[in-house]
A and B are shown apart, each in its own frame.
Chain A
Amino acid sequence: MSINSKNISLFYNEKEILNDISIEIREGKITTLLGPNGAGKSSFLNIISGDLDFYKGHVYYNQRNLAEINIQEKAFLRSVMAQSQPIVFDFSVYEIVEMGWLEKGDIKYSNNFKTALQEVLTECDIDYLKDRKFNTLSGGEQRRVHFARSLLQLWRESNSLDPCYLMLDEPTSNLDLFHQIKMMNTIKKLSTEGVGIFMILHDLNLAFKYSDYIAILKNGKIVTFGDPMSIINDDILSNTFDVKIQVNKKDDNIFINYV
């Protein structure tokens, strides 16, 4: 099962932002979108998450047209971690994470809440922060809290077959190296548990290490799409980013060098 985007085009103020994009995001796999700023990456994420609705083309969630899925159902199908807005009132970290829990009105589900919350707090290493006021946290800590909230939104009982997708727009910004790696490991773990992951990243090395599929977007068009080992080379990267890049492939790993 997957999210299928077909022939997505986006116009805004008579400018073409996206041109005929067709990408598949598979459950259980990590798909990363790379590209220079202004390529249209965030707009694409907004389209496939269901936030933007004035586009051409179609998006299907497991063969269902996204445009026909209502807002509550969408919330159960996918979780998004994007730029966050300042929070005006003094909520505690616990209260912010808790907002990711979607009430299905199902008593059984509600009993899982405490378990789920604890799992998520531990996984994101914020258990010790849970009673602190959110606004007193550093930028990086706040990011981890929002990440935890996105995870809570996705939480399913272990025997559940419900599809779910996680979309992340630059999730690692503001995080120190330790927490960047920790977050990427969590994301990897989620994908092995069956969650379909879609990410926008700036850090190429990180992207190549963790992704199952890479899509490169430049000027609104897909330059290439596929598994990193096969599609990534010096020319493609250098042309995309207008920087001389040297690609090194060794033992199933890819890392790049700027010349």
Chain B
Amino acid sequence: MLSIINLKFLNSAQSFILFFLLILLLLVLIISFSLGSYSFPVLSILMGNTSAIEATIFTEIRVPRVILAAIVGASLSVSGACLQGLFRNPLADPGLIGVSAGAALGASTIIVFGSSLTSAFIFSTFLLPLSACLGSGLVILMLFLLTRGFGHQGVTYMLLVGIAVNAIASVGIGILTFISSDSELRSLTFWTMGSFGGITWSLLIPALIIIFISFLFLLPILRNLDILQLGESEAKRLGVNVKSLKYRIIFASAASVGASVSLSGMIGFVGLVVPHLLRLLSGVNHTYVVIGSALLGSSLMVFADLLSRLLIQPAELPVGLITSAIGSPFFLWLIFRINKI
């Protein structure tokens, strides 16, 4: 029943584009699984005749990394699309509600103060993502409490809360930057530019679950997001439970963005621009835009990660740099091209 309701709102051009994006994603995934710093023929892995180290690299290092890139790309883009719909603002992006800033603050704290907390933690590889999640969780809680459960105040209020959180996190990160040593500073710098390195299955699986569930949580309300564009009062009159809509979007976005940022650092641009790319291509209804964002966002991110791994081998280019560097001019080009017609 769910899928029937959703698919009805896609016209034929949109269905075609979504199908095409799915194929694109599969292609990009295959290419990414096949290429890397440590080169070996991937087919041999699938047929089982490789050395142990090659098999290990494939299953323990490359595959989790590519999957992480895919789900982070999807979650940032989907959040961006939903937040743009919720706030009725084409410039909204996952950073707007302060969740990434909270995660960044949590992560930065560990990067700078980690040494003093050593004794308390056994699972050191979890320390950074854990504290980033804690950071974004606190922001979600704050958003919830300050808006009294997303009550009458409306979205402007939430925007203001997000702005305040971003400001506070900026100060926090600024102070941490100031007191950090050279090496910590370098860590901070690279973390804020994003990286998918160091991921393991044990870190990936919880994130995968969170992001996947958030996505499912959003699917039923995509049509209601369209109706919300008429305004909150009008949407209520048309039978949309606006409060519940806000809950879903904020929680789903915050959870998936928090999970993403905690594992991969800050990667900008994608959440803002991918939904717009889709709108420029074939219409603005949210069923198309959100599902399309998941597909296009993952392809883009997987491709960006591929470049980050290969361009300056053996060193890595921060992936956030690549997404902005490639994405922005392309986006500019697309705007001019479409508007000429």
Residues of A within 8 A of B (CB): 49-51, 71-72, 74-76, 79-80, 82, 84-85, 87-92, 95-96, 99-100, 102-103, 105, 153
Contact = CB atoms under 8 A, between A and B. Distances in A.
B211 to A, nearest CB: 25
Contacts of A82: 233-234
B237 interface: yes
B233 A87 contact: no
B236 A88 contact: no
Contact of A99 (B1, B230, B236, B284): B230
Contact of A72 (B90, B226, B239): B239
30 contacts: A49-B237, A50-B237, A51-B236, A51-B237, A71-B239, A72-B239, A75-B237, A75-B238, A76-B239, A79-B237, A82-B234, A84-B231, A85-B234, A87-B229, A87-B230, A88-B88, A88-B89, A89-B90, A89-B229, A89-B284, A90-B279, A91-B226, A95-B226, A95-B285, A96-B230, A99-B227, A99-B230, A99-B238, A102-B238, A102-B239
Given A90-B279, A95-B285, A80 B237 contact: yes
Nearest to A150: B237
A89 B279 contact: yes
Given A89-B284, A90-B279, A71 B230 contact: no
Interface in B222-256: 226-227, 229-231, 233-234, 236-241
Contacts of B229: 87-89, 91
Contacts of B236: 51, 71
B5 interface: yes
B81 to A, nearest CB: 11
A90 B88 CA distance: 12
Contacts of B234: 80, 82, 84-85
Contacts of B230: 84-85, 87, 96, 99
B238 A153 contact: yes
A71 B88 contact: no
A91 B88 CA distance: 13
Interface residues of B, number: 22
Nearest to B229: A87
A74 B239 contact: yes
A96 B231 CA distance: 12
Nearest to B89: A88
B226 A99 contact: yes
B310 to A, nearest CB: 37
Contacts of B233: 51, 82
A88 B90 contact: yes
B125 to A, nearest CB: 42
A72 B239 CA distance: 4
A80 B239 CA distance: 12
A73 B155 CA distance: 25
Given A84-B234, A88-B89, A91-B284, A103 B5 contact: yes
Contacts of B226: 91, 95, 99
A163 to B, nearest CB: 16
Contacts of A99: 226-227, 230, 238
Nearest to A89: B284
A87 B279 CA distance: 15
A9 B279 CA distance: 47
Contact of A75 (B5, B90, B239, B279): B239
Contacts of B240: 71
Contacts of B5: 103
Give me the 10 closest cross-chain CB pairs, A-B, nearest first: A75-B239, A85-B231, A89-B284, A72-B239, A88-B88, A80-B237, A99-B227, A75-B238, A90-B284, A87-B229
Interface string B53-70: 000000000000000000
Contacts of B285: 91, 95
Given A75-B239, A79-B237, 8 more contacts: A50-B237, A51-B237, A84-B230, A85-B231, A87-B230, A91-B229, A99-B238, A100-B238
A211 B45 CA distance: 80
